[in-house]
């Protein structure tokens, strides 16, 4: 099952070696950008440490121990992540009913579709109460596992006070307990935490790995998988979101905008452009998509085999003209600039107008 983690062979090898040689660190820090498999690897590692199968391909994913891990029901698996204030009772019960609902949704989402983000309504952090409760739980003996497994997700979201309360446990965890911290923001992890863990780096996923996962695992069509992989920047979560959006509309909308910009003499189509009301993510995906199409407009001249949207070859040929290759680099810079503005909360309508004008300038011979 470890081999289901794609594109992180070095990490998987390292962890499997640690298990074979029985040299398990007490604490690991899995770091690397979002959507590269840190959590799933941590979970599978915990499963492998406790799997009942005698095969060398542990975790098996089907024994009772693996099963409990996959359902997040193993009594020796403790999972902490940033939350809103849960108003915990001293026994660890969540007192706030709305917070409880959100907490359960977070876990369910993690089980059902870990490639999707779940956002709490309200600001989140790894709370001191949760850490105190963890420390208390670790004082009890292990129920049934060979190794108790603690995963603390986004460990950077712990304030100094909370981190300090945790240091002693991190340095000397109880026997047969493995603590795995994960973070996308290594520089924000407190040095005192960092120095007590074995760091494990997860690199961004390559385009071909993402493309394969989308195609094999999610049955996404090749053209869409190829462009989503390009846009994703090595983040599987982004790739899956883009691919799903795209199957619905983002890609079509990007092509529609190109078509309008190519044919309209005036700005008469601006109304149409402005009538698209969508969220920030959709606008960012659209900008990313236009970048892929712009690259295709160049490739169609020099490297037809590398055209991503190969099912739209005729359209691309129709709108590409001799000056396109010289203009595309500046257009790509503009797209980057627009993306930064979206992130910086500039009015989306303003960005759309400028985007339309820039696209028109690109495409007007």
Give the footprint of Zn ion on this chain (CB under 5 A). 51, 53, 59-60, 63, 66
How many other C-beta atoms lie within 10 A of the C-beta of residue 9?
11
Q: Is 88 helix (H, G, I), strand (E, B) or coil?
A: strand
For Zn ion, the closer of residues 60 and 353 by Cβ is 60
**Nearest-approach distance from CB 62 to Zn ion, in angstroms:** 6
**Nearest-approach distance from CB 18 to Zn ion, in angstroms:** 18
- Helix (H) / strand (E) element for 182: namely strand 177-183
For Zn ion, the closer of residues 59 and 234 by Cβ is 59
For Zn ion, the closer of residues 1 and 243 by Cβ is 1
**Nearest-approach distance from CB 58 to Zn ion, in angstroms:** 6
Cβ 190 vs Cβ 158: under 8 Å: yes
For Zn ion, the closer of residues 53 and 192 by Cβ is 53
Cβ 313 vs Cβ 300: under 8 Å: yes
Q: What are the distances in angstroms from CA 332 to CA 183, 278, 292, 306, 344? A: 31, 22, 9, 18, 18
For Zn ion, the closer of residues 51 and 319 by Cβ is 51
**Nearest-approach distance from CB 66 to Zn ion, in angstroms:** 3
Cβ 356 vs Cβ 261: under 8 Å: yes
* Among 151, 5, 27, residue whose Cα is nearest residue 16: 5
Cβ 152 vs Cβ 179: under 8 Å: yes
Separation between Cα atoms, residue 110 and residue 118, nearest integer Å: 8
**Nearest-approach distance from CB 143 to Zn ion, in angstroms:** 17
For Zn ion, the closer of residues 53 and 264 by Cβ is 53
**Nearest-approach distance from CB 63 to Zn ion, in angstroms:** 3
**Nearest-approach distance from CB 61 to Zn ion, in angstroms:** 6
Say which DSSP state 125 is in.
Answer: B
For Zn ion, the closer of residues 77 and 255 by Cβ is 77
Q: Where are the alpha helices (DSSP H) in the chain?
A: 9-20, 38-50, 64-70, 97-112, 128-139, 160-171, 191-194, 207-212, 218, 222-231, 236-248, 250-263, 270-274, 280-302, 313-319, 324-343, 348-363
Ramachandran region, residue 122 (left: φ > 0; alpha: ψ -120 to 50; beta: rest): left
């Amino acid at each position: 099952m470890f081999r289901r983690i794609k594109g992180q062979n070095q990490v998987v090898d390292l962890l499997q070696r640690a298990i074979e040689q029985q040299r398990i660190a007490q604490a690991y820090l899995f770091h690397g950008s979002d959507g590269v498999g840190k959590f799933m690897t941590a979970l599978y590692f915990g499963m492998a440490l406790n799997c009942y199968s005698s095969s060398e391909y542990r975790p098996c994913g089907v024994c009772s121990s693996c099963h409990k891990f996959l359902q997040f029901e193993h009594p020796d698996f403790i999972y902490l992540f940033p939350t809103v204030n849960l108003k915990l009772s001293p026994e660890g019960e969540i007192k706030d009913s709305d917070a409880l609902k959100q907490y359960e949704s977070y876990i369910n989402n993690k089980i059902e579709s870990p490639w999707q983000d779940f956002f709490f309504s309200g600001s989140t952090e790894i709370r001191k109460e949760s850490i105190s409760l963890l420390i208390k739980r670790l004082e009890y003996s292990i129920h049934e596992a060979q190794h108790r497994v603690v995963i603390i997700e986004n460990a950077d979201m712990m304030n100094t006070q909370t981190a300090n309360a945790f240091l002693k446990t991190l340095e000397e965890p109880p026997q047969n307990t493995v603590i795995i911290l994960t973070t996308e923001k290594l520089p924000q992890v407190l040095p005192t935490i960092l120095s007590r863990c074995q760091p494990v780096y997860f690199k961004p996923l390559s385009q071909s790995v993402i493309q394969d996962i989308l195609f094999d695992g999610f049955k996404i069509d090749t053209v869409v998988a190829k462009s989503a992989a390009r846009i994703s920047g090595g983040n599987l979560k982004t790739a899956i979101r883009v691919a799903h959006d795209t199957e619905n509309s983002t890609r079509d909308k990007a092509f529609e905008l190109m078509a309008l910009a190519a044919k309209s003499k005036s700005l008469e189509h601006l109304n149409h452009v402005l009538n698209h009301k969508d969220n920030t993510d959709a606008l960012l995906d659209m900008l990313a998509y236009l970048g892929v199409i712009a690259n295709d407009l160049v490739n169609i001249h020099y490297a037809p085999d590398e055209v991503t949207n190969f099912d739209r070859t005729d359209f691309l040929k129709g709108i590409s003209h001799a000056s396109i290759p010289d203009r595309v680099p500046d257009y790509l810079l503009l797209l980057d600039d627009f993306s930064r503005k979206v992130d910086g909360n500039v009015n989306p309508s303003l960005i759309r107008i400028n985007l339309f004008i820039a696209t028109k300038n690109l495409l007007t011979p």
